[in-house]
């Protein structure tokens, strides 16, 4: 008899506090920075936007199948960034 494998819990980054704050405050922050004459560097903006897309099923995923247990899992695409994402 096989050992029981713990049930997989999908990480939902869009439900974390950091993700919520970044999503809600990014555009106002960028607008204030531009208005003050000190715009945010493009690579910083790209990194934050990639973080907001990372791990969210709506932004792309892969369906994987386990022949042993017969289950399918959805695996969200990752941004592979090192700024915010681990």
Summarised one tens digit per residue, pLDDT across range 45-83 is 999 999 999 889 998 999 999 898 888 999 888 888 777
pLDDT for position 2? 58
For residue 82, being part of any structural domain is answered with no
Mean pLDDT across 27-50: 95
7 part of a folded domain: no
In a domain, 30, yes or no: yes
Rounded Cα–Cα distance for residues 43 and 40 (Å): 8
Cα 60 to Cα 24: distance, rounded to the nearest angstrom: 22
The token pair at 43 is 């690579």
- The whole-number pLDDT of residue 79 equals 84
pLDDT of residue 69: 86
Report yes or no on 44 lying in a domain: yes
Owning domain of residue 59: 13-76
In a domain? residue 5: no
| Whole-model pTM over 0.85 | no
52 in Cβ contact with 26 (< 8 Å):
yes
77 burial type by CB count under 10 A (0-12 exposed, 13-18 middle, 19+ buried): middle
Domain membership flag for residue 23:
yes
39 in a domain, yes or no? yes
Q: How many domains does the chain have?
A: 1
């Amino acid at each position: 008899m096989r050992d029981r494998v713990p049930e997989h819990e999908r990480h939902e980054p869009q439900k974390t506090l950091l993700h919520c704050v970044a999503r809600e405050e990014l555009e106002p922050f960028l607008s204030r920075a531009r208005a003050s004459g000190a715009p945010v560097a493009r690579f910083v903006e790209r990194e934050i936007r990639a973080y907001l897309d990372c791990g969210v099923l709506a932004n792309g995923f892969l369906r994987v199948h386990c022949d042993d247990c017969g289950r399918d899992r959805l695996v969200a695409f990752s941004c592979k960034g090192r700024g915010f994402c681990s």
